[in-house]
Amino acid sequence: MRDRPADLDESLLAPALEAWGIKAVGLAYAPVGFGDHHWIATGADGRRWFLTAATLSPEPDAVPSREPELPAPAGRPHEPRAAGDLGGVARVAFGELGRALETAAALAATLRFVVAPVPDLDGGALLRPLAARYALSVFPFIDGVTGGFDDEPAEHDRAQVIDLLAELHATPPPPSTPSRPLQPPGRAALERALTETGRPWTGGPYAERARALLDRHAGTLHARLRHFDRGCRDLGPPVVTHGEPHPGNLLRHEGRCLLVDWDTVGLAVPERDLWLVARTPADLARYAAAGGRTPDPAALALYRLRWSLDDVAQYVALFRGPHGHTRDAELSWHFLTRTLDGLAAGGPCPR
C-alpha cells in the first residue's frame, strides 16, 4: 500500500514487537504490495525485520449484530486470548489469517522457498491483534529483488516457479490448511452491488464514478458470472496452493527464488496457481513432468476469470465504503477500469 493507514497509530508497533523480543530502534514504512501495510523494523542488535499489519475488517465499526464464533478451537497458537477484544468480523478474519500463517510455518519446515512468519516468545503466536481492526505478523527481512504483478517473467523464471509449485503441490497439506472454494469470495457482495446501481453511492470521491461504471458494465458482468457458473464442476483432487504466485510475490535472494505472502494459501486444484505462471504449452508440459498431473486448460481459464471477477468485487467494495482521494484509491480505480474493460473486450484478465 502506498498510503499509511489513517486509523492505525504507528506508535503501537514498537511496543507490540516486544512480544517477539525485538527492541525496535528504527521503523520505516514500506510502500509495497497491495492490501496490507508494511514496515521495516531495525532492532537494537542491528537486525532488520519485515512487519505486516493486515486489515481484518473493512471499517473500524464493521461488527455484525451477532458475533459468529471462531471456527477453530480456543488455545491454538494463532488465536491468543487478546483476539477476544476484536469485533466479530475482525475476530473471524483473525482466525482465518492465523490458520493461513500456521500453514505457511508448517510448510517452511520442509520447503526452503517458503518465507514464513516468526513466532513470538509468548506461546509461539504467529499473529497478534493490533488496534481495532489490524493484526501484526513479523517476518525475517530478506534482502532480495521482487517484481510487480504485471511483470512478464522470462521463460527461465517461469520454469523455476513451475518447479517450486510442483513441489508445493506434492507436499502433504498441514492440518491447518484452509479450503479455498472455487466461487469468488466477493461474489455475493458484487451481485448485491449490481442490484444497487440505481441509487447514489456515498462512500467517497470515487463512489458515484464506480456506481456509473458498474452500471455500464452490468450486462458484461452478469454474462461473465453465468459463464463462470457453466464452467464450475469437479476439477479434481485438491492440493496445497499458494493462491497468488505472481512476480510481486516472488523474491530472488542469493540465486534462489522464494515465495512470500502466504495469506491466501489453501486447498484447491493446481490450476489455482498455474494460471498466473504458465504461458506456453511447454510450461504446462514442464509442470506435468514435475508434478505428474496434466493441467486442465478449462480450469486454467476458469481461475483466470475468477480472479478478474473477485478483483472487481474488491474494488467495488472499496469504493462503496469510506475512502478518500489517495494514491491507493487512484490505483484501485485504474485496476477496476482496466479489469472491466478486459472483461468487456472478451478476455477475463488483462495480463
Q: Is residue 277 part of a domain?
A: no
Which is more confidently placed, 149 or 223? 223
Q: Is residue 287 part of a domain?
A: no
Residues 203 and 70 in one domain: no
Q: Is residue 181 part of a domain?
A: no
Q: Is residue 50 part of a domain?
A: yes
Rounded to an integer, the average pLDDT of 82-97 is 77
Query: pLDDT tens digit string along 267-318?
Result: 999 999 999 999 999 999 999 999 889 999 999 999 999 999 999 999 999 9
Residue 2 banded pLDDT, cuts 50, 70, 90: low
Residues 123 and 194 in one domain: no
C-alpha cell recorded at residue 4: 499509511
Residues 224 and 340 in one domain: yes
Residues 13 and 74 in one domain: yes
Residues 63 and 9 in one domain: yes
Q: Is residue 47 part of a domain?
A: yes
Which is more confidently placed, 86 or 66? 86
Residues 193 and 339 in one domain: yes
Query: pLDDT tens digit string along 320-350?
Result: 999 999 988 999 999 999 999 999 988 665 4
* DSSP assignment string, 41-53: EEETTS-EEEEEE
User: For position 292, what pLDDT does the model report?
Assistant: 84
CATH number at residue 41: 3.30.200.20
Query: pLDDT tens digit string along 147-173?
Result: 887 778 888 889 999 999 999 999 999
Which is more confidently placed, 15 or 132? 15
Most confident of 84-88, 132-136, 338-342: 338-342
Residues 135 and 192 in one domain: no
Q: Is residue 249 part of a domain?
A: no
Residue 60 banded pLDDT, cuts 50, 70, 90: very low
Residues 333 and 208 in one domain: yes
User: For position 88, what pLDDT does the model report?
Assistant: 75
Rounded to an integer, the average pLDDT of 244-266 is 92
Read off the pTM.
0.88
Residues 102 and 42 in one domain: yes
Residues 135 and 202 in one domain: no
Query: pLDDT tens digit string along 297-310?
Result: 999 999 999 999 99
Among 79, 107, 141, the domain boundary falls at: 141
Among 120, 141, 162, the domain boundary falls at: 141
Give the integer Cα–Cα distance in Å for 188 and 202: 20
Compute φ and ψ for 283, nearest 5 degrees: -60, -45
Q: Is residue 218 part of a domain?
A: yes
Among 141, 166, 197, the domain boundary falls at: 141
Give the integer Cα–Cα distance in Å for 27 and 12: 11
Residues 133 and 34 in one domain: yes
The parent domain of residue 315 ranges over: 187-236+298-344
Q: Is residue 162 part of a domain?
A: no
Residues 134 and 196 in one domain: no
In 171-202, which positions are buried (b, 16+ CB within 10 angstroms) versus exposed (e)? eebbebbbebebebebeebbeebbeebeeebe
Domain count for the chain: 2
